[in-house]
Amino acid sequence: MLLEPNDAKCVIDKLLHKNGEAYFMFNRLRKKKVSEEDTPVNTPSSARMNMFFFAAFVIFSILIFRLAFVQFVEGPELTYMETSRNTKDIPLAPVRGPIYDATGKVALAYSEPVQSLYVLLYEDYRNDDRKQEAQELAEELAAVFKQFNPGDKEQPDAEEIIKRLDLDYQKTFGYVPRLVKSDLTTKEVAYFMEKKAEFPGVMVLEENVRKYDPDGVAVQVIGYTREFKRAPDTLEKYKAIRESASTQRDPGLVYHEEEKVGFDGLELQYQEELRGRSGYQSIDIDARNLPDGTMNLTPPEKGDSLITTINKEIQMVAQQAITDELRKLPKAVTGYAVAMEVDTGNVVAMASMPDYDPNDWDYEKIKYVFRNGTIASFPPDDSRPSRAESVVLLGSVIKPLSVLIGLKENLFTTGQTYFDQGYATLGKDGRKVRNSHSAFNGSITARRAIEKSSNAFMIDMVGKGLYNKYGATRGVNEWDKYMKQFGLGVSTGVDLPKEYLGTLEYNSDNNESGLTRLAFASFGQQAKYTTLQLAQYTTMLANKGKRMEPHLVKEIRDADGNIVKKIKPKVLNEVDFADAYWNEVHKGMVTKVSSFDGFPYDYARKTGTSEQGTGPNKKENGVFIAFAPRDNPKLAIAVVVPEGGFGSVSASPIARKIFDAYDEVYGLDGTPKGKKDQVKDTE
């Protein structure tokens, strides 16, 4: 640090004084010693000593005068340089890691390198005298682009280049390089590298563009990316990152405003793992915030890769199956399916149709389909042309659980019979709630009540049974407790963001009595759940009470392919029901479904047709659940087709095709039925 002039003068005066005083004292001592020893002053030894001390005096004096010169002559300039120079680290977006399907060989999302042209402003072009120079540079660059891409309408002209140069610093500081054009051709890259000396400040940098499997595999599951500058306004995760930016000391964790970050799906859920670390360009800047010197580059680091549980082959079958069924149905416009392994919780297929092309993002085209309908709810929070809801009443697929609750609560026994006259009555006014088609089933057991889908049995034996045992409030609470134990109305634990937990109408204050709510809940008309919640519930039916955590990522690997983390199967909770109760329910899940004709395995299933609204606004939603094989379940499937009508017609054909695809790839009995040379999953 330089001294103030007065302080410096005092220091120098003292040094000069001390220097002279030291020389004088040394000379007196030397003479005294010589006189005492009667040694002549001009002896060779004395002369050498005189020369040594004279040289020391001269050197010391030169240093003192140099200090004075630096302080008083060069001081103002050095002070300006000290206060005006600074070093800035300009972040470079990291290389985002890929997302693979279950085989570990099919990339569902990946980063593709591209060359981009940047311009570093070494002058302040806000001055009108210099703007002409910038205009000339813009025209030269536009001419080069036109020379190599004469038919490209997307390339910037001179006017657009001036906007991108941001000469007035409206978007960023002067020292930040300006992106002029991305995805340069090889000829453009070669030209600018060859003519580098003619374009000072022009740089060709490698960047990465996020690409997705062109076949459109589970696009809502994979998610999408957008610029970081948009993220903090809508996502809390990025809001926190922006707020902590000023205290972030690790350049590798600094986010650039133009950096692409995950906005939904796995891209958002695993943002930190996929992102990697930022690179940065270190450059000295002056007091004008303009670059002053050369730029040093620290390259970015590649993020980790995800190995998902989604098998592309099975996923594509699920997507196509839904699309094919939607073409046949007069009212249905959407469909959802989830296939989940019973023992592992691996989600091998998760389809929300229709979907979109993630490589051609146009919000106006995709605003009604870009969200994952298997875990999300819309409407009412989304204005869609069709009022088909993604979260629907379950209808009869709840009946296996209703029977389990009745047995567990000792409301009836496995062998007890009930006379089903086709309806049940509610309230003092004798309101009748009928079976589908007012079917008269006669004397039936709990098992037959599931098979025949008896609303009357569920109302009289379960709904009324809970009400009579506990009363209205506690009866509803007991029902709610069982629902949540089976994953209905709570988070499934899936590794995806923005999961909807369900609409629990039986808990709402809708002016209905506790008896009415319990009665209608018992046959699936008092709560709406997601397709994933329904799949988790079906898995619990299959494995007799273990609520497996569904997950879509099974491994995380670093850039060198080393396993960083393995996601192991996880049991979220277990329920304790007698094995006889499970067996009774499984034996009842034998509804006749024509779409499974010729299916080579014994399997358990339940169809459902949930009704919403009345009169002209009445909607019938197709719902279907199944697991196979019955005695050693490997796969559980849930399908929902809003406004699809009967589940046996609209939803079951989709499930059948998914079972067949799984059998080909993995084998429902453990032996794959497909081609021997097909791609196997990574271990």
Residues 6+ apart with CB under 8 A from 126: 167, 168, 169
Average pLDDT over the chain, rounded to an integer: 87
Question: What pLDDT was estimated at residue 37?
Answer: 47
Distance CA 454, CA 435 (A): 6
Q: What is the CATH number of the domain that holds 179?
A: 3.90.1310.10
In this structure, the answer to whether residues 168 and 21 fall within a common structural domain is no
Continuous segment of H or E residues that includes residue 140: helix 128-148
Ramachandran class of 594: left when φ > 0, alpha when ψ lies in -120 to 50, beta otherwise: alpha
Question: What pLDDT was estimated at residue 178?
Answer: 86
Question: What pLDDT was estimated at residue 433?
Answer: 94
In this structure, the answer to whether residues 133 and 276 fall within a common structural domain is yes
Q: Is 260 exposed, middle or buried (0-12, 13-18, 19+ CB in 10 A)?
A: buried
Domain boundary among 64, 83, 102: 83
Distance CA 178, CA 173 (A): 10
1-7 contacts: CB < 8 A, separation 24 or more?
2/70, 2/71, 2/75, 2/78, 2/79, 2/82, 3/71, 5/71, 5/72, 5/75
Residue 17 has pLDDT above 70, yes or no: no
Q: Please check whether residue 676 lies inside any domain of the structure.
A: no
Task: Report the 10 Å Cβ neighbour count for 397.
Answer: 30
Residue 33 has pLDDT above 70, yes or no: no
Distance CA 82, CA 215 (A): 58
Question: What pLDDT was estimated at residue 45?
Answer: 66
In this structure, the answer to whether residues 14 and 118 fall within a common structural domain is no
- Structure-token pair, residue 293: 């010197």
Q: Please check whether residue 321 lies inside any domain of the structure.
A: no
In this structure, the answer to whether residues 115 and 136 fall within a common structural domain is yes
Question: What pLDDT was estimated at residue 280?
Answer: 80
Distance CA 373, CA 354 (A): 10
- Do 90 and 280 form a contact (C-beta atoms < 8 A)? yes
Q: Which residue has the higher pLDDT, 377 or 586?
A: 586
Residues 6+ apart with CB under 8 A from 223: 262, 263, 264, 265, 266, 267, 268, 269
Question: What pLDDT was estimated at residue 81?
Answer: 43
Give the three-class secondary structure for 132.
Answer: helix
Residue 90 has pLDDT above 80, yes or no: no
In this structure, the answer to whether residues 77 and 102 fall within a common structural domain is no
- Structure-token pair, residue 645: 């009508």
Q: Please check whether residue 614 lies inside any domain of the structure.
A: no
In this structure, the answer to whether residues 143 and 245 fall within a common structural domain is yes
Residue 212 has pLDDT above 60, yes or no: yes
Continuous segment of H or E residues that includes residue 136: helix 128-148
Tell whether omega for the bond before 354 is within 30 degrees of 0, i.e. cis.
yes
Total domains, the chain: 2
Place of tokens 């996880």: 570
pLDDT digits (tens, 9 = 90+) for 433-477: 999 889 999 999 999 999 999 999 999 999 999 999 999 999 999
Domain hosting 51: range is 5-83
Q: Please check whether residue 38 lies inside any domain of the structure.
A: yes
Place of tokens 């990574």: 682
Convert 51-83 to b/e letters by CB count within 10 Å (16 or more is b): eeeeeeeeebeeebeeebeebeeebeeeeeeee
In this structure, the answer to whether residues 43 and 123 fall within a common structural domain is no
DSSP 561-614: S-EEEE----EEEE----HHHHHHHHHH-B---GGGTT-SS--EEEEEEEEES-
- Which band of pLDDT confidence, cut at 50, 70 and 90, is reported for residue 61? confident
In this structure, the answer to whether residues 76 and 216 fall within a common structural domain is no
Domain boundary among 83, 102, 129: 83
Residues 6+ apart with CB under 8 A from 404: 482, 577, 581, 582, 585
Question: What pLDDT was estimated at residue 80?
Answer: 42
Instruction: Output the CA torsion sign for 49, 55, 59, 64.
Output: positive
Cite the beta strand spans of 396-435 per DSSP E. Answer: 418-420, 423-426, 431-434
Nearest partner of 492 among 448, 440, 533, 444, judged by Cα? 533
183-202 mean pLDDT: 90
Nearest partner of 525 among 604, 428, 444, 459, judged by Cα? 459
Q: Which residue has the higher pLDDT, 101 or 200?
A: 101
- Do 237 and 142 form a contact (C-beta atoms < 8 A)? no
In this structure, the answer to whether residues 64 and 116 fall within a common structural domain is no
Q: Please check whether residue 521 lies inside any domain of the structure.
A: no
Pairing relation of β-strands 99-100 and 305-308?
parallel
- Do 607 and 453 form a contact (C-beta atoms < 8 A)? yes
What is the Rg, in whole angstroms, of the alpha carbon atoms belonging to the chain?
38
In this structure, the answer to whether residues 192 and 51 fall within a common structural domain is no
- Do 301 and 320 form a contact (C-beta atoms < 8 A)? no
Question: What pLDDT was estimated at residue 15?
Answer: 47
Question: What pLDDT was estimated at residue 16?
Answer: 47
Q: Please check whether residue 373 lies inside any domain of the structure.
A: no
Place of tokens 């906005």: 263
Give the three-class secondary structure for 419.
Answer: strand
In this structure, the answer to whether residues 127 and 223 fall within a common structural domain is yes
Nearest partner of 130 among 323, 297, 345, 288, judged by Cα? 288
Q: Please check whether residue 650 lies inside any domain of the structure.
A: no
61-73 mean pLDDT: 69
- Inter-axis angle of helices 44-72 and 5-36, to 10 degrees? 180
40-60 mean pLDDT: 69
Domain boundary among 60, 83, 106: 83
- Do 441 and 450 form a contact (C-beta atoms < 8 A)? no
- What share of the chain in percent tops pLDDT 70? 87
- Structure-token pair, residue 1: 């640090």
Question: What pLDDT was estimated at residue 133?
Answer: 84
Pairing relation of β-strands 335-341 and 563-566?
unpaired
70-85 mean pLDDT: 52
In this structure, the answer to whether residues 65 and 183 fall within a common structural domain is no
Pairing relation of β-strands 225-227 and 563-566?
unpaired
Q: Which residue has the higher pLDDT, 257 or 144?
A: 144
- Cα within 13 Å of Cα(592), Cβ side: 2
Distance CA 244, CA 239 (A): 9
At 126, which amino acid appears? R
Question: What pLDDT was estimated at residue 538?
Answer: 98
Residue 124 has pLDDT above 90, yes or no: no
- Which band of pLDDT confidence, cut at 50, 70 and 90, is reported for residue 374? very high
Distance CA 680, CA 313 (A): 11
Instruction: Output the CA torsion sign for 38, 39, 42, 46.
Output: negative
- What share of the chain in percent tops pLDDT 90? 62
Q: Please check whether residue 22 lies inside any domain of the structure.
A: yes
Question: What pLDDT was estimated at residue 20?
Answer: 52
User: What is the length of the chain?
Assistant: 683
Give the predicted TM-score (pTM) of the model.
0.82
Q: How far apart are the first and last CA of the chain?
A: 62
DSSP 349: E
Q: Which residue has the higher pLDDT, 599 or 176?
A: 599
Residue 344 has pLDDT above 60, yes or no: yes
pLDDT digits (tens, 9 = 90+) for 145-177: 999 988 777 789 999 999 999 888 777 777 778
Question: What pLDDT was estimated at residue 206?
Answer: 83
- Cα within 13 Å of Cα(446), Cβ side: 27
Convert 107-146 to b/e letters by CB count within 10 Å (16 or more is b): bbbbbeeebbbbbbbebebeeeeeeeebbebbebbbebbe
Question: What pLDDT was estimated at residue 319?
Answer: 98
Residue 579 has pLDDT above 60, yes or no: yes
Nearest partner of 523 among 611, 588, 586, 584, judged by Cα? 611
